[in-house]
Amino acid sequence: MARILITSAIPYINGIKHLGNLVGSQLPADLFARYNRARGHEVMFICATDEHGTPAELAAAKAGQPVAEYCAEMHAVQADIARGFRLSFDHFGRSSSPRNHVLTQHFAGKLADSGLIREVTQQMIYSVDDGRFLPDRYVEGTCPNCSYESARGDQCDNCTKQLDPTDLINPRSTISGSTKLELRETKHLYLMQRNLRGKLEAWIDSKQDWPLLTTSIAKKWLNDGDGLQDRGITRDLHWGIPVRRGDQPWPGMEGKVFYVWFDAPIEYIAATAEWADANGLDDAAWQRWWRTDMGAEDVTYYQFMGKDNVPFHTLSFPATILGSGEPWKLVDYLKSFNYLNYDGGQFSTSRGRGVFMDQALSILPSDYWRWWLLSHAPESSDAEFTWENFQSSVNKDLADVLGNLVSRVTKFATAKFGAQVPAGGQFGPMETALIADLGARIREYESLMQAMEVRKAAAELRAIWVIGNEYLQAAAPWTVVKTDPEQAQAMIRLALNLIRVYAILSQPFIPDASASMMAAMGSDDWTWPDDLPAAMRALEPGQPFAVPENLFRKITDEERADWQVRFAGVRT
C-alpha cells in the first residue's frame, strides 16, 4: 500500500467557479484520489478556499458584509457545490484558518532566519478617501501612450503597454473613484528568490518525468529576461495574515499582512492540520504527510492545477519550502492543465458566459458533467465545451453504451429467469475470450490512470464498456434462450457480473451511477478486479439483484438549444 498526498489548486473565495475551473484542478484531482483509494492506497486529498487579498475585501464590501463573514458564507457555498460534484476531499479547508496563520508566520520567520528576506522601502499610491494603499490594478487613469481613459495602473488594455500607476494621467481609485491620491512611503518584505535560483533549477532538472507543459513554464520564469525575481510577500491591507516573524512581532511591519500568494499554498499544509483538528487527531497525524523527518519520507505528493498556477507551484512555493531549511515535503509530480473554452469563446466570470458549477448541477446530475469534462480534459492543448459535443457524449457514451447495457441485461434477466443471478450453464469460449480481452484492457486502464492520462483513461473505460456490448451483441442471449436456456443463463450470469465490475472501474469517473449499479447487483464488494476471472464470478447463482432506475437519460435537441441560449452570457 502506497501513501499518496494529493492537493488541488485552491479556488479563490469570491463567487462560484465555472466548469473550466473545475476541470483544471479539482475534478481530475478527485479522479486520481478516487482511483488510488479504489486500489487500496492510503490517500490524503486536500483542497481549500483561498480567502485573502483585495478582491475578497471588495466583494465583501459590495455584498455589504464584513469580509470575515462574507468569506465564511462563500466557503460554505463552495463546499456545498463541491459535495454536489462528489469531490471527495479529505478536508476542504480555509486559508484564513488559525492553522494557516501560524504556519505562514512560521515559514516567514524561518526564511528570515536563513537570510532570505529583505526589507524594501518603496513609494506606493495611497488613496486618502479610501484610507488605504491601492494595488496597481485598482488605480485607473488616462494612458500616457494612447490616451485611452480607462487604463489600469499595471497595464493599458487598449494598447497593452505595461504601466506603473504613477505613469497614468488623472489617476483615480477604482474602488471609490476618488482622485485624492498621493505617493506615500511604505515598507515591505521581499523573499529573495534570486538567491534560491540554483537550488530551484537543480530541483526542477531532477524532475525528468514531469510533463513538458510544466517544466517549460517553470524554466521560462527561471531564465527569461533577468531571470527569477525577488518577490514582495507583504501588503498594506487589513484582511490577511498579520506579518509576524514566527511567534514574535516583526518590528516595522505592524498593521501589514502577508501577500495572498505567499499564504495560499501554505494552506495545503495548514488544511491537513485542519483535517487532523476536525477529526480529533494530534499533530503527528498531519505531520506524517508533510514532514520527511516525521514519517512523510514514503509519501508521494501530487499537485493538480491550471497552467496559470504553474509558476507559483514550481518556483514560489518551493522557494518558501527550500528556503525554510526544514524537511517539508516537496511536490513529486505536478499535473497541469490547459484551458477549457466555452462554445466559440472563453468562459467569463464577469460576463456570466458559460456554465457555472451551481448552474450545471441545477440542470443535470454531476455524473453527466464529470464524464464529459474528464473525457475532454484540456491536457495536451486547450479544449472546447460545445453543447452539441456534450449532448452527443452523454447520449452515446453514457446512455447508449453503458446505461443501455445495464438496463437491457437486468430487464431481460428478470423477465426470463427472475430477480436472482441464474445458475445454469458454464462459461464457454466467448465468455473466456471476453474475460481475457477485458483483463488486458483493465491493465491498460490502470496504467493510464496511474499516469494521470485523464482523456486516454476515459477512452479506455469507454472501450471497456463497448466490449461488453459487443459480447452481448455476438452472444445474443435473447436468441439463445429459445434454443439453449442453460447457455443463456451462463451468459446473463456473466453480464450481471460485468455490471458489478463496471461499477468498480467506473467509480472514479461517475461515482453516483456506479453506486446505483453496485446496489442493483445487491453487492457492496468494491474490491478492485486484480483477479478478473474471480471477479467475473463474484455474484454467485441465487444472488438477488434489481433493475436499477434509468442510469442516464438522453439530452433532447430542445434542451440543448435552450441551454445554449441560457448560458450565452447575461449573469451579473
Binding Zn ion by CB under 5 A: which of 112, 139, 143, 488? 143
Residue range at the interface with Zn ion (CB under 5 A); choices 114-122, 144-152, 273-281, 328-336: 144-152
150 or 229: CB nearest Zn ion: 150
Nearest-approach distance from CB 174 to Zn ion, in angstroms: 16
Nearest-approach distance from CB 165 to Zn ion, in angstroms: 14
Give the residue carrying C-alpha cell 453503458: 402
Nearest-approach distance from CB 158 to Zn ion, in angstroms: 5
The reply on whether position 148 binds Zn ion by CB under 5 A is: yes
76 or 146: CB nearest Zn ion: 146
Contact (CB, 8 A) for 528 and 446: no
Nearest-approach distance from CB 40 to Zn ion, in angstroms: 58
Nearest-approach distance from CB 153 to Zn ion, in angstroms: 12
133 or 148: CB nearest Zn ion: 148
Nearest to 412 by CA among 521, 489, 518, 497: 489
Nearest-approach distance from CB 155 to Zn ion, in angstroms: 9
Give the residue carrying C-alpha cell 476541470: 23
Nearest-approach distance from CB 351 to Zn ion, in angstroms: 22
The reply on whether position 436 binds Zn ion by CB under 5 A is: no
Q: What is the size of the binding site for Zn ion (CB under 5 A)?
A: 7
140 or 379: CB nearest Zn ion: 140
The footprint of Zn ion on residues 149-188 (CB under 5 A) is: 156, 158-159
Give the residue carrying C-alpha cell 467475473: 536
Burial (0-12, 13-18, 19+ Cβ within 10 Å), 138: buried
* Integer Cα distance of 381 and 389 in angstroms: 17
Give the per-residue contact string, 343-382, with Zn ion (x = CB under 5 A; - = no): ----------------------------------------
Under DSSP, the state recorded for 155 is B
Residue range at the interface with Zn ion (CB under 5 A); choices 147-155, 169-177, 219-227, 309-317: 147-155
CB atoms within 10 A of CB 130: 17
Beta bridge partners of 244: 249
Burial (0-12, 13-18, 19+ Cβ within 10 Å), 87: buried
For the chain, the residue count is 572
Residue range at the interface with Zn ion (CB under 5 A); choices 89-97, 137-145, 296-304, 358-366: 137-145
| Chain centroid to CA 441 | 27
* Integer Cα distance of 325 and 297 in angstroms: 16
CA angle 307, 309, 310 (to 5 degrees): 70
Residue range at the interface with Zn ion (CB under 5 A); choices 36-44, 135-143, 260-268, 425-433: 135-143
Contact (CB, 8 A) for 209 and 333: yes
Nearest-approach distance from CB 139 to Zn ion, in angstroms: 14
Residue range at the interface with Zn ion (CB under 5 A); choices 26-34, 67-75, 148-156, 465-473: 148-156
* Integer Cα distance of 394 and 555 in angstroms: 7
Nearest to 3 by CA among 33, 25, 47: 33
Residue range at the interface with Zn ion (CB under 5 A); choices 64-72, 141-149, 168-176, 404-412: 141-149
Nearest-approach distance from CB 243 to Zn ion, in angstroms: 35
Binding Zn ion by CB under 5 A: which of 65, 145, 392, 469? 145
Nearest to 197 by CA among 112, 326, 315: 315
The reply on whether position 146 binds Zn ion by CB under 5 A is: yes
Contact (CB, 8 A) for 501 and 521: no
Nearest-approach distance from CB 163 to Zn ion, in angstroms: 8
Contact (CB, 8 A) for 48 and 96: no
Question: In the structure grid, which three cell numbers stand for residue 186, read together?
Answer: 511604505
141 or 422: CB nearest Zn ion: 141
The footprint of Zn ion on residues 459-488 (CB under 5 A) is: none
Nearest to 136 by CA among 144, 126, 145: 126
158 or 166: CB nearest Zn ion: 158
Nearest-approach distance from CB 226 to Zn ion, in angstroms: 24
92 or 138: CB nearest Zn ion: 138
* Integer Cα distance of 236 and 258 in angstroms: 9
The footprint of Zn ion on residues 91-130 (CB under 5 A) is: none
Nearest to 386 by CA among 337, 423, 342: 342
Amino acid at 2: A
158 or 186: CB nearest Zn ion: 158
The footprint of Zn ion on residues 191-230 (CB under 5 A) is: none
| Interacting residues toward Zn ion by CB under 5 A | 143, 145-146, 148, 156, 158-159
